[in-house]
Amino acid sequence: MKVLVLGSGGREHAICRGLSLSPEVTRLYCSPGNPGIAQIAECVNLPAGDNAAVADFAEKNGIDLLAVGPELPLCQGVADAVRARGIAVFGPSQAGARLEGSKDFSKQFMVKYGIPTARYASFSDCESALKYVASEYAAGRGVVVKADGLAAGKGVIVAASQQEAENAVRSCFSGTFGAAGSIVVLEELLEGEEASILALTDGKTIVPLVSSQDHKRLLDHDRGPNTGGMGAYSPAPVVTEELMNTVKEQVLDRFLKGIQTEKLEYKGIIYAGIMVTKDGPKVLEFNVRFGDPETEAILPRLKSSLFDVLFKTANGKLSEAVMNWSTDPCVGVVMASEGYPGTLKKGFPITGIKDAEAAGCIVFHAGTASKDGKIVNSGGRVLVVSAEGSTISEAVEKAYSGVKKIHWEGVQFRTDIAWRAISRLK
């Protein structure tokens, strides 16, 4: 079987690794890929945002499955264009991708189908939004400010004060996030512990993967700005069997009913960011693709064929798929460039990757490039160093032993990934 993966990050490297280990896959392509992916797949450079070019390549090269990594191509309709050629696609239609592409649409969907979520209001003008912020703080409630559209993981501001919330609102409407900020969603600030629940669905069946938890804040002890994620681990002890059953019933099953009722073609992954509150689990957001960096902690635990489950999902046969998971926890630590998540310092040679791999770690490339025969940092999140262990503490120790072997000028990383899991299990 021939497979094409779209994307260039750590998530796509993890997907490509899983596919490369699947016995059914005879040829693996990735566009555009990265230096790490290039070691296991043939990287091709299809024009970004050109759905016809992707469909033409897939048709010409006899691709049996397209697996779409990032949200942007899905929101641009690449799944529809390729499916129209009779090719199986793992990823929702453009209409289904609105569940991530528009936070306002997503919140309306949750409310309509009884999916527990934070109270919210949406605004298209700054003055009304600022009045709402003031009224929330006057009532003693905090606010989360969200740009409606895609903002590369940076459009969510968990405000620490009324002033910060107001500044965030003004920032959205002033064009900081482009068209993504033309509508602003203001949410009640929920308290609790976060978890990531990813589930496969072919529109008829929905099957959760093993649980995970990521760390959004840049610095240790959950300080500093929000990022796309500084590390993740799987499983998340906060997700007990009882909690997973509740999420399945109140979130995943209702999500499935919603996409069926709305007639949204959805053959792919749904990511539910969950806040475990004193009143039960509530959905913070939906993403329509594998989470990053959660994928780098989840997929190494899959010991059966990744191709089999993606292909069966794409062909409406998810109920026939089998997933065998390792009981060993997996931890992934993000190594980022200096300046992330702001202005980056990049182009520095990276050393020690092979040493980390020799120590038993899996090193996923997220923001790397080749320059003069060397691997250099080219993005914000550069590498994800993942490791399995018989316990979460052992996995943490193993992952950080790999991290310590890797270096480039200005590298930064958190030193406390999985601290909640470790403290919970003591």
pLDDT digits (tens, 9 = 90+) for 260-276: 999 999 999 999 999 99
What pLDDT sits at residue 160? 85
Q: Are 290 and 15 in contact (CB under 8 A)?
A: yes
Query: In 14-56, which ranges are E strands?
Result: 27-32, 42-43
What pLDDT sits at residue 426? 67
Strand-pairing partners, residue 200, are: 207, 269
Strand-pairing partners, residue 381, are: 336
Tell me: pLDDT of 425 over 80: no
pLDDT digits (tens, 9 = 90+) for 130-163: 999 999 999 999 999 999 998 876 788 888 899 9
Q: What is the DSSP string of 216-285?
A: -EEEGGGEEEE-S-SEEEES-TTS-HHHHHHHIIIIIHHHHHHHHHTT----EEEEEEEEEETTEEEEEE
Closest CA to 214 of 187, 194, 200, 198: 194
- Other C-beta atoms closer than 10 Å to the C-beta of 203 total 19
What pLDDT sits at residue 226? 84
- Tracing tokens 């641009």 back to the chain, one arrives at 76
Angle in degrees, 0-180, between the axes of helices 162-173 and 126-138, rounded to the nearest 10: 170
Residue 266, CA distances (Å) to 6, 96, 284, 295 in order: 18, 6, 20, 20
What pLDDT sits at residue 326? 98
What 3-state DSSP class applies to 287?
strand
Strand-pairing partners, residue 199, are: 208, 270
Secondary structure element (H or E) that encloses residue 206, with its range: strand 206-208
The tokens describing 33, both together, are 């890929």
What pLDDT sits at residue 156? 87
Which DSSP state fits 397? H
Q: Are 271 and 291 in contact (CB under 8 A)?
A: yes
What pLDDT sits at residue 110? 98
Query: Is 0.75 topped by the overall pTM?
Result: yes
Q: Are 329 and 392 in contact (CB under 8 A)?
A: yes
- Tracing tokens 């998971």 back to the chain, one arrives at 325
Tell me: pLDDT of 225 over 90: no
For the residues 336-343, what does the mean pLDDT come to? Answer: 95
For the residues 201-208, what does the mean pLDDT come to? Answer: 98
pLDDT digits (tens, 9 = 90+) for 358-381: 999 999 999 999 999 999 999 999
Rounded Cα–Cα distance for residues 385 and 226 (Å): 20
**Among 89-103, 156-170, 282-296, 313-327, which is the least confidently predicted range?**
156-170
What 3-state DSSP class applies to 351?
strand
- Please report, rounded to a whole number, the percentage of residues in the chain having pLDDT higher than 70: 100
Peptide bond preceding 32: is omega within 30 degrees of 0, i.e. cis?
yes
Q: Are 213 and 415 in contact (CB under 8 A)?
A: no
Closest CA to 175 of 208, 210, 197, 149: 149
Rounded Cα–Cα distance for residues 30 and 76 (Å): 18
Q: Say what the alpha-carbon torsion angle 205, 208, 214, 216 is, to the nearest 10 degrees.
A: 30
Q: Is 325 exposed, middle or buried (0-12, 13-18, 19+ CB in 10 A)?
A: middle
